Amino acid sequence: MSQPVPLKAIHHVEFLVGNAKQAAYFYRKAFGFSQIAYRGPETGYRDHASYALQQGSVRFVLTTPLSPDHPDSEWLKQHGDGVRDIAFHVDDADSVFETVTARGAASVIAPKTFEDRGGATRQAAIQTYGDTIHSFISTNDYDGPFLPGFDPVDGDEPDVDIKCIDHIVGNVEDHKMDTWAAWYVEKLGWHQFVSFDDKDISTEYTALRSKVMASETRHIKFPINEPADGLKKSQIQEYIEFNRGAGVQHVALHTPDILRTVSVLRERGVEFLRIPDEYYDTLWDRVGDVDEDRDEIKRLNILVDRDDTGYLLQIFTQPVEDRPTLFFEIIQRHGAQSFGKGNFKALFESIELAQEKRGNL
């Protein structure tokens, strides 16, 4: 067993996008993020523009390369808009990097110092599934707005109540789930929190398998999915084809008040998966009493599930780009630590309807 490497939290998630200026507007106006900082030509960085946004403890960075020879341009050509980096905040980026590369993790960026008038950070990065990376960032000597090179921006106040990242899901190729689950155990010293097989996650047509990997303290959870054989094409396979390989499928955002949050997101134009009315016919027999208003739950198309420690409410957006790849989940937990297993069937049937419309089922 590998010793867990000390990770404090997810520092930020970086998305490579075709037009970061417009993407930043979308995450601000639709999802209620506030812009906190900017790095680009105006701040002395000629080859890219990056917008740092925050809501609760969730920080997103939207980056666009400004020339075709920038390596990020090839990434974008292959994958389209999506998650490039799930960056970890650590105390000592050098020692974490040294440990994980000694365990065989592939280096992407060897530790280096970034500095500006706000101080200095040490940053390094390793490769995980697909063309996704994990940065390690230590900020003990930095006191600026976000990271060196970024200038502060006076953002608007967020009015959507998103507090933190609940989990981030990766889709990997057929028969690669075990390899990547083992990677998190061997390289980062994580453990398997729970797993689902194709008997748990299947409909009449499609199936997938999933293992949920968790950090030592379980504050960070990364489920990893792979497609399973079904009569028709798994949604995971559709993702793999359009993403040109493995990558981040969804980021789950935690809110303490999902009814209000989803109402606001809907008003602001965020598109969610449509759940058939029949789902609600048997729901309350299955999950029992909840504090939230049942009619509102149905009206907003929110899913509910219960496990032995409590219940959870969740909802999934449509993909947020034209390729059927990355989407978001909004989740509220009342004790439940699970991932909505009781909703898998309804959810996947809803995704299949969307897949069919795209001609990809």
Q: Which residues bind Fe ion (CB under 5 A)?
A: 252, 329
| Alpha-carbon gap, residue 70 to 74, rounded angstroms | 7
Cβ at position 5, least distance to Fe ion in Å: 24
Opening angle at CA 195, ends 191 and 198, nearest 5: 155
Nearest to 236 by CA among 330, 173, 319: 173
Distance in Å, CB of 222 to Fe ion, minimum: 10
Q: Which is nearer to Fe ion, 329 or 349 (CB)?
A: 329
Comparing CB distances to Fe ion, the nearer of 97 and 272 is: 272
Separation in Å, CA 305 to CA 39, 138, 194, 200, 204: 42, 38, 16, 14, 21
As measured in angstroms, the least distance from the Cβ of 326 to Fe ion is 12
Q: Are 324 and 242 in contact (CB under 8 A)?
A: yes
**Distance in Å, CB of 42 to Fe ion, minimum:** 37
Query: In sequence order, which residues have a C-beta less than 8 Å from that of residue 278 and are 6 or more positions away?
Result: none
Residue 193 C-beta: closest distance to Fe ion, Å: 13
Please identify, using beta-carbon distances, which residue of 90 and 312 lies nearer to Fe ion. 312
d(CA 356, CA 361): 5
- What count of Cα atoms within 13 Å lies in the side-chain half-sphere of residue 275? 23
- The residue among 228 and 253 lying less far from Fe ion, judged by its C-beta, is 253
Nearer to Fe ion, 148 or 223 (CB): 223
Residue 301 CA to residue 351 CA, distance in Å, equals: 14
Q: Given the complex with Fe ion, which of 33 and 328 has the nearer CB atom? A: 328
Q: How far is the CB of 340 from Fe ion (least distance, A)?
A: 7
